[in-house]
Amino acid sequence: MVIKMERKLFRFAVIVSVLGLLSIAAVMISGTAYPDMMFQILAPIGLLLMFVSLPLYVLAWVFSIKKEMKSKNYLYAALLLLVGIISIVQTIILRKL
C-alpha cells in the first residue's frame, strides 16, 4: 500500500509541477505582460501549481522513508533522511546570505 501511494503521489507531484512550468513557459514565450488577460490567468495558475507540488514531493519523500523502514533497510532510510536534512539546512543557509 505504501509503495503504491508513494509512486502515485510522486507521479502526481511531477504532473502538477510540469503543468505549472508549462503555464509559466507559455506566458514567457508569448511575451505577455501585466494588463494582458493571458498573463493574468496563466501566471498565477502556474505559480500555484508549482507551490502545490512542493509539499507533494515532501510527502512522497516521507513515504519513501517509511517504505524503507518497513522493509528494514535502515541504512538507506537514514541516508534519505540525512540528504533531506542537508538540503533543507543548505536552503536555509543560502537564503540568509
Q: List the domain boundaries for the chain.
A: 2-96
Instruction: Look at residue 3 and tell me whether its pLDDT is greater than 80.
Output: no
Whole-number average pLDDT of the chain: 88
Q: What is the pLDDT of residue 25?
A: 93
Give the separation between CA 1 and CA 56, rounded to whole angstroms: 17
Contact (CB, 8 A) for 66 and 2:
yes
pLDDT in tens, 57-72: 889 888 888 888 888 8
Give the separation between CA 22 and CA 10, rounded to whole angstroms: 18
Q: What is the pLDDT of residue 97?
A: 63
Residue 87: all three cell numbers together: 538540503
pLDDT category at 2 given cuts 50, 70, 90 is: low
Q: Which residues contact 63 (CB under 8 A, 6 or more apart)?
A: 2, 5, 6, 9
Give the separation between CA 64 and CA 52, rounded to whole angstroms: 19
